[in-house]
Every structure is written in C-alpha cells, then in structure tokens.
Structure 1
Amino acid sequence: MAGSVANSDAVVKLDDGHLNNSLGSPVQAEVYFPRLIVPFCGHIKGGMRPGKKVLVMGIVDLNPESFAISLTCGDSEDPPADVAIEPKAVFTDRQLLRNSCTSGERGEGQSAIPYFPFIPDQPFRVEILCEHPKFRVFVDRHQLYYFYHRIQTLSAIGTVKINGDLQITKLG
C-alpha cells in the first residue's frame, strides 16, 4: 500500500512516510495528508526545523508544462501566505526556478542548476532538507542546489502545497 495513490483515503505520516490503514483511522502522526491529489495542500505539524525534511515522490505527466512544490507559512490565499521555498520545474525552458515570497513580495529568484532532472512520464523523488541556515534540495538522491532561509522563524513553515503537471505517489 505504501506509495499508492489508488486509495484516496490513505493517510501519510510526514516524519517516516508511513501510511495508516485504508479506513483512514487516526494514528499518532506529525502530518495528515488525506488525499494525494493535485493541487495538494497538507499541514506539517510543528513546522520545519533543522534536520527535518519533506519528501515528495511522484510521476511527471506525459506532456508537462510545469509543476511546483511550495513550503509555506499556512494556506491563506488572501492575503497570500509567505512562501519559504518554492522549487518550480519549467519544462519548456528545462529550468528549475526557485524563490520565496514574504509579505507579498517575491525574493530574488534563482535558476542555476547543473542539469534538469525531470523527464516527462517518469518517476522522481524530491527531498527538501531543512538545515541551518539553508534548505538543501535533492532530486533522485542527488543534491541539486541549496537555498538560504528567507523566513527566519522555521516553525512557521507549516504547509506543503503541490500543483502542476504531476501525480503524487508518496509524501513523507
């Protein structure tokens, strides 16, 4: 059952990627993700801290334009929640853009990467590891870049948002 998106009642436990039973019975967990559908929004209990990571496994759509994984300070739309880090894969340019947004202002974007790791219709694994003073981002277990914190209160970063041209197969 681990990694399955067929069971929409599955609940994922963020710290160890553990799925509970198919009935969705509550268990002691850091994070509950009731459905792995895109667009996706889930809560990170206690927020981020050095040593904590977010794992997203999925499959890129067959004809993708882009997808993004955002770690935010809540899920507010109006005013928009602060975004601590938002990697965005853009397939037309083969770029992995990343940025933040605090108090409605976008930070200075970054785009330099050694290679573009995503392939249409293929699986991927993204890990965002929180360290002091930066996030390290791995794709398929290879470090791709780091991104210095622009939000200093790490515990406020309590939401994962995923949207775009992908299917989510596992969160942890």
Structure 2
Amino acid sequence: MKPEFSHPASLSVSGSISPTAAMTVYNPTIPYLGPIVGGLKQGSSISFQGSTPENMTRFQINLLCGDSDSNDIALHFNPRHDQGDQVVFNSRQDGEWGKEIVKNFLPFMIGQAFDMVILVTPPGYQIKVNGKDFYTFPFRLPVDRVRALQIEGDVSIRTIIITKE
C-alpha cells in the first residue's frame, strides 16, 4: 500500500494559490509526505527550521517525483549519526538507487535546533545548514519532475517554507 500525502498540523499558503506562491507548513507530523504545489524550478528554495533529538540515529529528506514514496527520488539527503557522523546523498530512478555520495561530516549539532535550506541552483541542489554551505548535489533527474517532499526519521520540524522565485 502506497502512503498518501500526510496532512500537516497546520498549512498556510501566502499569496494566491498558484505555482509561484510560497507555501508554509507548521509543525508537520514526522513521517511527513506532502505536495510541492507546482513543482520546483531554478531559484526555488525549501527552508526548514527544526531540531534533532539527543538520541538521533538518522533522518532523511527526499524530493519525490510523484505523490508516494515509491516514486523516483530526485534528492535523497540522509544524515547518519549512527555511521560515524556522515551525510549520504543519492537519487533513485525506476526503482534503482544511484551512486551514493558520502560526506564524512554531520552539519547538525545533536540535540540542537537548526536552519536548513535547499536551493535549486544551476549546478544542482545547494544545501545550506545554519547559514553555511554544506554541499551541492548535482541534478540526476530534471528538477521540474519534483512534486512532493518526504521527511522521515529522528528529526522534529517546526517550519517548512517552499518558495519559487
């Protein structure tokens, strides 16, 4: 059975409901699966305010090319405290995972709040954590295929803001 979009605790859309509107989600229940209305394009960003628990092992943020977790994944962002403080980046197409890119540094302080941004830039998905560049994951799938956001694991999210510039 495919998971359907979850319903966050609070959802507000600022401006008119259009593909260029900003969308804000407050206090989503994790695991979270929600739409990115109108998809993403160059200049789009997804901002997160959240925290990791003291007992964090790992969490993941996926940009999905459809409305279920069985769809292609354009970006798999997977911080792993249980594997030596690393972040794994990947993508999945037609059920097959690509080559993992591993960064042996965890940009999150365990048990602390964080700000994170995924920016859609010409070379790829630029990840910033607490205002510092972390990594730019090159596009493997067209960015205009992204339709949903999935968050799972040991993380609490207070706010998600999706903007399209």
Shorter-chain TM-score range: 0.7 to 0.9
Structure 1 residues 151-162: aligned runs within 5 Å: 151-152=141-142, 154-162=143-151
Q: TM-score, normalised by structure 1?
A: 0.79
Question: Within the alignment, does 1:150 sit opposite 2:150 as a pair?
Answer: no
Structure 1 residues 8-157: aligned runs within 5 Å: 9-13=9-13, 28=17, 29-31=21-23, 33=25, 36-77=28-69, 80-92=70-82, 93-112=84-103, 115-152=105-142, 154-157=143-146
Aligned to 2:103, what secondary structure does the other structure show? Answer: coil
Q: TM-score, normalised by structure 2?
A: 0.82
Compute the RMSD of aligned alpha carbons. 2.1
Distance 1:32 1:43, change over 3 A: farther
1:4 equivalent in structure 2: none
Quote the sequence identity (%). Answer: 26
Structure 1 residues not aligned, in runs of 5+: 1-7, 19-25
Report if the CA contact (8 A) 1:75-1:81 is conserved.
Answer: yes
Report how many aligned residue pairs link the two structures.
150
Give the drift of 1:85: 0.5
Report if the CA contact (8 A) 1:70-1:162 is conserved.
Answer: yes
- Runs of 4+ with deviation above 6 angstroms: none
Q: Which amino acid aligns with 1:10?
A: S
Report if the CA contact (8 A) 2:32-2:152 is conserved.
Answer: yes
Distance 1:111 1:146, change over 3 A: same
